[in-house]
Amino acid sequence: MVYAERILPHDIEAEEAVIGALLIDGDAIHQVTPVLRAADFYRERNRWCYEAALELSQRPEAIDLATLGHEMARLSRLEEAGGYEYLSQLSATVPTSVNVEYYAQIVRRTSIMRQLVHAASGIASLGYENGSDVDETLTRAEDLLFRLRGAGTGRDFVHIREVLDRYLEESARVTAGPLGLSSAPVPTGFSDLDQILGGLQRSDLLVMAARPGLGKTALALSVARNAARYGATSAIFSVEMSRDQLGQRLLAAESGVDSYRLRQHLYSEQQEQRIVDATGVLSDLPIYIDDTPMLTVMDLRSKARRLHLERNVDLIIVDYLQLMQGNDTRGNTNRVQEVSEISRSLKALARDLNVPVLALSQLSRAVENRPSHRPQLSDLRESGSIEQDADVVMFIYREDMNFTQEEWEARFVDKPFPKDIAELIISKHRHGALGSLHLRFESRLAKFVSLTDRPEPS
């Protein structure tokens, strides 16, 4: 049986409607540029028209029939595209520019479908290659598809600058009314921890666990902020907290302004200036946040790979492991198996992208039934293979959460009460020795600092 050659997906009417809308209302270019690229146009002369419109907008100059025609003539494309007669025809295609975004979405969608066809052809060609490295071939095939994932809609990575800009806008309304880290370990900014681990080693899965309220997220954000100062690009997947909440935590830590005052917009003029200055500092840091709820392993992998292709990620943080979902949507696996799948996938991702993956984890309630309350590897909640897959397992332990000051002084006469002192216990270290170190938790700023650092002023 002989099949006729299939025509690639396209919609000429939608393409002409986009150009026609731009000729009617030149300002509509700002509505379509976030959606459309010139390469998304199937018909060449429509692509030329759009490229000329982009050139005009970047200078910036008005976009209308006369200016677009002049620009296309300057590029020696006007006559081949059909001259002013074709441009006049396009301007008469649509009566208004109101639906320009809708037309642009159609053009973009058909462009993605064409790219998918080309990607499938490329994957088929890889299948015919007689290469001996199957893993490398699969990675190349995956890359062809991951490059297309940016076309999706919904929640995705946003730069910390966008989160903080929105916070400042809301605040105004209330008051008015790289270091070349491609192969090097990623520094945490905590000298004692870096000395034990040698920094966060690439391709490692690191698990940081604690009971609720001991500061897992705060410590992870402190690591991301410190690493970013060294030029390390961090991707934070937050299943528990929204990106706005994380942005405010980072802002409190950087500005030294109480997180409660930030949330309620209750700060002095001097503190407001510190907030503005901190916003400028954080906005220049390579920190990206994805707060997709009900995050699956497949979604995380796809998003991380795409950001890695675009920004060369150095550190991935997952907050937290037990809130993620496996890929089995039919419910054929129990929760322990699902968490085991998640931990294996995170380890595979660390190796695939050659970056450290820092996954936060909850502890089971068994630790509360132990007199000392000191955590153990067996306390990892729904552990499955977490302990086995992890290269490093760390626990946050705080004595001041287990004893009142009176109880402590009665029990330990010669030892001062360890107020806000956290012990970070390294209980598994595949590449080196075990150990522990102490950090100070500044609760009002939701951040951890070395014991030698002076407390932030109020």
* Residue of 120, 128, 110, 180 whose CA lies nearest to 147: 120
pLDDT at 146: 67
Instruction: Decide which of 165 and 17 is more confident.
Output: 17
Lowest mean pLDDT segment, chosen from 223-237, 278-292, 357-371: 357-371
φ, ψ of residue 450 in degrees (nearest 5): -65, 155
Class of domain 12-103: mainly alpha
Query: What CATH topology corresponds to 159-450?
Result: Rossmann fold (3.40.50)
Instruction: Decide which of 195 and 301 is more confident.
Output: 195
Query: Quick check: 348 pLDDT over 90?
Result: no
Instruction: Decide which of 292 and 58 is more confident.
Output: 292
Q: How many CA atoms lie within 13 A of 391 on its CB side?
A: 20
Instruction: Decide which of 458 and 21 is more confident.
Output: 21
Query: Quick check: 428 pLDDT over 60?
Result: yes
Rounded to whole angstroms, the Cα distance separating 62 from 68 reads 9
Query: Quick check: 306 pLDDT over 90?
Result: no
Strand partners, 237: 290, 318
Query: Quick check: 427 pLDDT over 50?
Result: yes
pLDDT at 228: 94
pLDDT at 5: 65
Counting residues of the chain whose pLDDT is more than 90, the rounded percentage is 26
Give the contacts of 398 (CB within 8 A, at least 6 positions apart): 214, 418, 421, 422, 423, 441
Residue showing tokens 């706005």: 244
Give the per-residue SS3 of 79-111. Answer: HHHCHHHHHHHHHCCCCCCCCHHHHHHHHHHHH
Query: Quick check: 187 pLDDT over 70?
Result: yes
pLDDT at 149: 56
Please report which confidence band the pLDDT of residue 394 belongs to, taking 50, 70 and 90 as the band edges: very high
pLDDT at 1: 42
User: Would you say the C-alpha torsion 233, 239, 243, 244 has a positive or negative sign?
Assistant: negative
Instruction: Decide which of 108 and 164 is more confident.
Output: 108
293 alpha carbon, distance to own chain's centre: 13
Strands 205-210 and 392-397, bridge-based pairing: parallel
User: Residue 80: is it exposed, middle or buried by C-beta count within 10 angstroms (0-12/13-18/19+)?
Assistant: exposed
Strand partners, 167: none
Q: Considering the entire predicted model, what is its pTM?
A: 0.65
Please report which confidence band the pLDDT of residue 135 belongs to, taking 50, 70 and 90 as the band edges: low
The per-residue pLDDT of the chain, averaged, comes to 83
Q: Contact 223/358 with Cβ under 8 angstroms? A: yes
Tell me what the mean pLDDT of segment 184-202 comes to.
91
Query: Quick check: 356 pLDDT over 70?
Result: yes
Q: How far is CA 373 from CA 111, 248, 422, 457, in A?
A: 58, 31, 13, 32
pLDDT at 358: 96
φ, ψ of residue 187 in degrees (nearest 5): -70, 145
Indicate which residues carry an active-site annotation. Answer: 240
Counting residues of the chain whose pLDDT is more than 70, the rounded percentage is 88
Strand partners, 318: 237, 359
Query: Quick check: 446 pLDDT over 90?
Result: no
Query: Quick check: 122 pLDDT over 80?
Result: yes
Sequence ranges of the domains in the chain: 12-103, 159-450
* Residue of 112, 114, 113, 38 whose CA lies nearest to 77: 38
User: Which of 181-185, 310-314, 399-403 has maximum average pLDDT?
Assistant: 310-314
Residues 332-342 pLDDT 10s: 567 778 888 88
* Residue of 448, 427, 430 whose CA lies nearest to 438: 448
Tell me what the mean pLDDT of segment 117-121 comes to.
86
